[in-house]
Amino acid sequence: MINAVGRDIPDYLLKDGREVYQGRNYKDGQYIKKASPTVKRGEKPMESKICETIREACERCGAHDGMTFSFHTEFRDGDYVAAMVCKVLVEEMGLKDLHVAATSLGSAQDIFADYMERGIIVEAQTSGVRGRVGEVISAGKLKEPVIIRSHGGRPRAVEAGEVHIDIAFLAAATSDNCGNAKGQGGKNNCGSMGFANHDARYADHTVIITDTLVPFPNLPSSISCIDVDAVCVVDAIGDPNKIATKEARLTDNPRELMMAQNVANVIVATPYFKDGFSFQTGVGGPSLAVNRFLEEHMEKAGIKMSFALGGTSSAICALQDKGYVDYILDTQDFDQGAAAHLFSNPHHIEIDLSEYANAANKGAYVNKLDYVVLSALEIDTKFNVNVITGSDGVLRGAPGGHPDTAAGSKCCIIVTPLTRGRMATVCKDVVTVTTPGECVDVLVTDYGIAVNPVRQDIIECLDKAGIKHVTIESLQEKAYSLVGEPDLLEWEDKVVAIVEARDGTILDVVRQVKPYEYED
Amino acid sequence: MINAVGRDIPDYLLKDGREVYQGRNYKDGQYIKKASPTVKRGEKPMESKICETIREACERCGAHDGMTFSFHTEFRDGDYVAAMVCKVLVEEMGLKDLHVAATSLGSAQDIFADYMERGIIVEAQTSGVRGRVGEVISAGKLKEPVIIRSHGGRPRAVEAGEVHIDIAFLAAATSDNCGNAKGQGGKNNCGSMGFANHDARYADHTVIITDTLVPFPNLPSSISCIDVDAVCVVDAIGDPNKIATKEARLTDNPRELMMAQNVANVIVATPYFKDGFSFQTGVGGPSLAVNRFLEEHMEKAGIKMSFALGGTSSAICALQDKGYVDYILDTQDFDQGAAAHLFSNPHHIEIDLSEYANAANKGAYVNKLDYVVLSALEIDTKFNVNVITGSDGVLRGAPGGHPDTAAGSKCCIIVTPLTRGRMATVCKDVVTVTTPGECVDVLVTDYGIAVNPVRQDIIECLDKAGIKHVTIESLQEKAYSLVGEPDLLEWEDKVVAIVEARDGTILDVVRQVKPYEYED
């Protein structure tokens, strides 16, 4: 069936009430009966929930064949915990038919790729897919398609009962012996644990894994002891040098700075740029650089932001420290400066993924967002964006909060160079739709600005401000004239991933790549 | 059927899986499938959830005949909101067959008594029952028995699906237009909203009612906007002069001070009195006075508390400010000083009723408690305590956290004068059992100390410390010799209230009083 972004979704996937994507507000206002965990009542006396080993914790929580386990990835490439736990489940306990519900899968989970190839991990649900896991999935090694969800789609699916987590294994910088856990005060600090606390509330069992045990009570905490079954203390939960995201860099590339400046100019030209506006940037170089140009504009206009949302970098913390941002609402910290800032500034607040972006709760913060500035791997002439598949069709990206903030914000601006290497970024049809074009308002490239024709109001604003803009088709043509039209990718029939829209409908599918280096 | 505290529970009440009380740890370690609300997905754009009137909010949330509505009582006798809402439901909307799920019912809800008499409010679940509501219930005006729960029993029942709240109407000192709400910053500050936030998460619909609207986002908040459907702004949510509890007084009565000193002596003689101990007092005069004697002992011993738990008064805040208390874990604030202190001291933390005392979660704070000092209306020679029915058999009290802290703590001390007026406090059989004797360890009266014989370890400690103690029977005999043996109360057959143990079993029942002034 053809969906609202023109993708043909195989009928056999439309089971168990699953529908194709039908537009951004399709399910607004509907009622949903929330799911809930099956939990074990505490036993008295509760002196401690410490388990000597991860295996002991797994056994206490009833780890079994076929179970779904989850973990969060706010330690990013520095995370040791997911791999450590998975090794115990597979190699010590010999479990099989495992289902993974991750906030992301990347190089820190390379070992999962082995277990997928060996048929031990049989299903996965995630936002990001990178590294060897992406290659193995794209090579069709899993029997069932992986489900790719946005940051808001994950808590929605959990609350809808579409993902049921048997055991959540949650890495924490510190914990007390009853499981009050947070992202601060240890050898490995991740700051916000906004990816983790929703799991703790909805999983049947929760295990906290830390390398720094602190006295009871470890408060205020991101995870409450009432949701924790067991606490494990290990030598190291991660590598502090790899916690910061590689993408969070301050650019000095003049082309990127020029794009950032143009994004700021677009923002200033629109009516939402007024005292108390709200703002989010992605973590790419040009996106982050928008912060510094915005500062100049805010100073000139004598206004400040009400709140900055989402993943947080030191750049936005610095803006807050200068008085330009009232609140930072923080789901994850991209660098150690931001992680430390969370605990030193009372207006820098941790929020969880449901508060951030869940389309099915009573109103997430993305719905109050004025501007979001995001990057893209590809954007097509219908303004559809791809941030999941590379130019070779292999899974190597993450929707993250992209579809959520694009859908929720009043003005979504994509900033991207027209070409990357030999690839056109602006194209006729993205390989995979991860954010529907109806949610994308403006495209800023190094070769010009295009506005989505559905936003005539923004077109008028730019015209009035004397900001030049062109059609997105002309940008695509320019891109093709520079690097040529991309070759069509060749696919097998097999669907290896379902890209789920934030409301749970199917936005697109990713098929097995052909030929593929991992093929036997 | 006779239960574990010797009470005969009528068989007809033992339906829907309800059992009689079988001992303090009967259900420990069992699994429970948590209940969950049916919630409405937010609609975009979400500029505001403000409703012009309470009626509009009720209609938005689908208020209907037969529904269960809830409210919290942290504004105590100063609360205007419960009465205001109930008037709208009954008099403006003409609803009937209403069920009330309150954290307490007192003089601020006198109007509920009228609606009970008129058969409009047909069922009630509460912790406290005081004022006219108690008289009407005791007179048998409700068809179904009221269910009396402890503070921990309430969230347990909600999570077990035994109480399903259709609409929670939650008074808040401040809220933004999306429902981020807290107990601070307004004309009526209650401090902790630990009674309210659990309702917001488990009710189908939540309405915030405030008299002080503040800019978005009102963070950190006690209630998250993702759980809120509507916000109403009214002229006044309460009377700030009546928010402080009448019971929280600093005594200068020499008899009460002597008892408080003896309580402190008992504490110091037991092995849990060491650096990092934890402590809770009730709000009665002698209980509160224990704080000041403990201070002297802590100073002498060079130790401090790890945490103080529960309802919070300025007395314990002062101890924290002097460095004797690391954390205060606060469910409600008994006076304005404590309410303000919550927001000025980062180690003074709001916790909700489930974290505080729910016997069915993975480990509430009461389970980590060393000492609790509590008062009693009556205590019998089996150490059973009554804090719900007066000497006339009428409902005029509240179990609150009494049964929870008694069951969870390592040492539960009851402090009470031997007689009050013409009534023996220490008696052969309490009118109503609200806390089982197996959870009560020590009784301190103005005529001597008694230790529960099951606690031979504490008896040895007191002997070693040279603290004189007697049998509880001798205290009861002394009481009867002073004021005489109490007349047996006369009851009708009709059960007007079920006293539910914290695990959901039936601890006792209260029957209709006879004769009664409200009788037609």
End residue of a domain, out of B220, B243, B266: B243
Instruction: Chain B: give the shortest CA distance to residue A369, in Å.
Output: 10
Q: Is the dihedral of CA B367, B368, B370, B371 positive or negative?
A: negative
Q: Are A344 and A302 in the same domain?
A: yes
Three-state SS string across B323-369, please?
A: CCEEEEEEEEECCHHHHHHHCCCCCEEECCHHHHHCCCCCCCHHHHC
Query: What is chain A's pLDDT, residue by residue, as a tens digit (520 residues)?
Result: 999 999 999 999 999 889 999 999 899 889 999 999 999 988 776 789 999 999 999 999 999 999 999 999 999 999 999 999 999 999 999 999 999 999 999 999 999 999 999 999 999 999 999 999 999 999 999 999 999 999 999 999 999 999 999 999 999 999 999 999 999 999 999 999 999 999 999 999 999 999 999 999 999 999 999 999 999 999 999 998 888 876 666 788 999 999 999 999 999 999 999 999 999 998 888 888 999 899 999 999 999 999 999 999 999 999 999 999 999 999 999 999 999 999 999 999 999 999 999 999 999 999 999 999 999 999 999 999 999 999 899 999 999 999 999 999 999 999 999 999 999 999 999 999 999 999 999 999 999 999 999 999 999 999 999 999 999 999 999 999 999 999 889 999 999 999 999 999 999 999 999 864 544 4
Q: Give the per-residue pLDDT at B45.
A: 66
Instruction: Tell if the CB–CB gap between B226 and A37 is shorter than 8 Å.
Output: no
Please list every residue in chain B whose beta carbon sits closer than 8 Å to the beta carbon of residue A45: 367, 410
Q: Which of A39, A45, A410 sits opposite B362 (nearest CB)?
A: A39
pLDDT band at B519 (very low <50, low <70, confident <90, very high): very low
Q: Which of B39, B47, B408 sits opposite A34 (nearest CB)?
A: B39
Instruction: Tell if the CB–CB gap between A43 and B28 is shorter than 8 Å.
Output: yes
Quick one: closest CA in B to A202, which residue? B34
Instruction: Tell if the CB–CB gap between A362 and B36 is shorter than 8 Å.
Output: no
- How far apart (Å, rounded) are the C-alpha atoms in residues A333 and A335? 6
8 Å CB contact between B333 and B339? yes
State the best of B159, B362, B502, B503 to mutate against chain A, taking most chain A CBs within 10 Å: B362
Q: Are A182 and A317 in the same domain?
A: no
What would the two tokens of residue B219 be?
């963070």
In a domain, B128, yes or no: no
Q: Which of B24, B32, B363 sits opposite A178 (nearest CB)?
A: B363
Quick one: closest CA in A to B327, which residue? A217
In a domain, B304, yes or no: yes
Residues whose CB is less than 8 angstroms from the CB of residue A458 and which lie 6 or more positions away in sequence, other chains included: A270, A411, A441, A442, A451, A452
Instruction: Tell if the CB–CB gap between B42 and A217 is shorter than 8 Å.
Output: no
Instruction: Tell if the CB–CB gap between B363 and A49 is shorter than 8 Å.
Output: yes
pLDDT band at B517 (very low <50, low <70, confident <90, very high): low
Please list every residue in chain B whose beta carbon sits closer than 8 Å to the beta carbon of residue A363: 42, 46, 49, 178-179, 225-226, 228
State the best of B41, B224, B303 to mutate against chain A, taking most chain A CBs within 10 Å: B41
Instruction: Tell if the CB–CB gap between A361 and B41 is shorter than 8 Å.
Output: yes
> If you average pLDDT over residues B137-152, what whole number do you get?
96
- B346 prior amide bond cis, ω within 30: no
Helix (H, G, I), strand (E, B) or coil at B458: helix
Q: Mean pLDDT score of chain B, rounded to an integer?
A: 95
Residue at token pair 């704070």:
B365
- A286 prior amide bond cis, ω within 30: no
- How far apart (Å, rounded) are the C-alpha atoms in residues B431 and B377? 10
8 Å CB contact between A290 and A373? yes
Count of helices and strands (H, E) across chain B: 14, 29
- How far apart (Å, rounded) are the C-alpha atoms in residues B228 and B483? 54
What would the two tokens of residue A350 be?
């941790």
Per DSSP, which regions of B336-474 are E strands?
Answer: 348-350, 371-374, 378-380, 385-386, 411-415, 419-420, 423-424, 426-427, 442-445, 448-451
Q: Are A469 and A329 in the same domain?
A: yes
Per-residue model confidence as pLDDT tens digits over B406-453: 999 999 999 999 999 999 999 999 999 999 999 999 999 999 999 999
Helix (H, G, I), strand (E, B) or coil at B480: helix
Residue A139 sits in a domain whose CATH number is: 3.40.1080.10
Q: Are B292 and B418 in the same domain?
A: yes
What is the torsion angle, in degrees rounded to the nearest 10, for the CA atoms of residue B36, residue A227, residue B403 and residue B458? 170
Q: Are A296 and A197 in the same domain?
A: no
Please list every residue in chain B whose beta carbon sits closer than 8 Å to the beta carbon of residue A34: 36-39
Half-sphere exposure for A210 (CA within 13 Å, toward CB): 29
Please list every residue in chain B whose beta carbon sits closer than 8 Å to the beta carbon of residue A408: 44
What would the two tokens of residue A40 be?
């074990």
Q: How far is CA A408 from CA A358, A361, A470, B302, in A?
A: 10, 13, 25, 56
Residue at token pair 């006396």:
A45
Q: Are B415 and B392 in the same domain?
A: yes
In a domain, A423, yes or no: yes
What would the two tokens of residue A75 be?
């330690």
Q: Give the per-residue pLDDT at A151.
A: 97
In a domain, A464, yes or no: yes
Looking only at the bridges linking them, the beta strands covering B230-233 and B205-210 are: parallel
8 Å CB contact between B35 and A36? yes
Instruction: Tell if the CB–CB gap between B45 and A367 is shorter than 8 Å.
Output: yes
In a domain, B296, yes or no: yes
Per-residue model confidence as pLDDT tens digits over B22-59: 999 899 889 999 999 999 988 776 789 999 999 999 99
Please list every residue in chain A whose beta carbon sits closer than 8 Å to the beta carbon of residue B358: 226
Helix (H, G, I), strand (E, B) or coil at A486: coil
Q: Nearest Cα to A323, choosing from A353, A345, A354, A343?
A: A345
A-B contacts (CB, under 8 Å): 181
Beta partners for residue A191, in sequence order: A183
Q: Give the per-residue pLDDT at B464.
A: 98
In a domain, B462, yes or no: yes
Helix (H, G, I), strand (E, B) or coil at A109: helix
Q: Give the per-residue pLDDT at A45.
A: 66
Q: Are A234 and A259 in the same domain?
A: no
Please list every residue in chain A whose beta carbon sits closer than 8 Å to the beta carbon of residue B368: 46-47, 178, 216
Please list every residue in chain A whose beta carbon sits closer than 8 Å to the beta carbon of residue B168: none
Quick one: closest CA in A to B48, which residue? A368
Residue at token pair 């420990």:
B28
Backbone conformation region of residue A363, classed left if phi is above 0, alpha if psi is from -120 to 50, else beta: left
8 Å CB contact between A385 and A376? yes
Q: Are A258 and A221 in the same domain?
A: no
**Higher local confidence (pLDDT), A47 or B167:** B167
Segment (H or E) for B290: helix B285-301
As a whole number of Å, the CA-based R_g of chain A is 22
Q: Could you give the angle at which helices A110-117 and A131-138 cross, rounded to 10 degrees?
A: 30
Q: Are A211 and A344 in the same domain?
A: no
What would the two tokens of residue A127 be?
């936002």
Q: Are B476 and B355 in the same domain?
A: yes
Residue B247 scores a pLDDT above 70: no
Instruction: Tell if the CB–CB gap between B362 and A228 is shorter than 8 Å.
Output: yes
Three-state SS string across B94-106, please?
A: CCCCEEEEECEEC
Q: Are A226 and A329 in the same domain?
A: no
Q: Which of A30, A349, A354 sits opposite B226 (nearest CB)?
A: A354
Give the structural domain span for B413. Answer: 254-488
Instruction: Tell if the CB–CB gap between B225 and A362 is shorter than 8 Å.
Output: yes
Instruction: Chain A: give the shortest CA distance to residue B414, in Å.
Output: 21
Instruction: Tell if the CB–CB gap between B34 and A32 is shorter than 8 Å.
Output: no
Three-state SS string across A372-417, please?
A: EEECCCEEECCCCEECCECCCCCECECCCCHHHHHHHCCEEEEECC
Q: ipTM, 2 decimals?
A: 0.95
Instruction: Chain A: give the shortest CA distance to residue B197, in Å.
Output: 14
Instruction: Chain B: give the shortest CA distance to residue A225, in Å.
Output: 7
Instruction: Chain A: give the shortest CA distance to residue B35, in Å.
Output: 6
Please list every residue in chain B whose beta carbon sits closer than 8 Å to the beta carbon of residue A362: 39-42, 179, 206, 225-229
Please list every residue in chain A whose beta carbon sits closer than 8 Å to the beta carbon of residue B354: 226
In a domain, A208, yes or no: yes
Q: Is the dihedral of CA B195, B201, B203, B209 positive or negative?
A: positive
Instruction: Chain B: give the shortest CA distance to residue A462, in Å.
Output: 23
In a domain, A123, yes or no: yes
Quick one: closest CA in A to B307, which residue? A217
Instruction: Tell if the CB–CB gap between A41 and B362 is shorter than 8 Å.
Output: yes
Q: Which of A29, A49, A178 sits opposite B41 (nearest CB)?
A: A29
Residue B146 scores a pLDDT above 60: yes
Residue at token pair 């929580």:
A61
Q: Are A183 and A270 in the same domain?
A: no
Domain count, chain A: 2
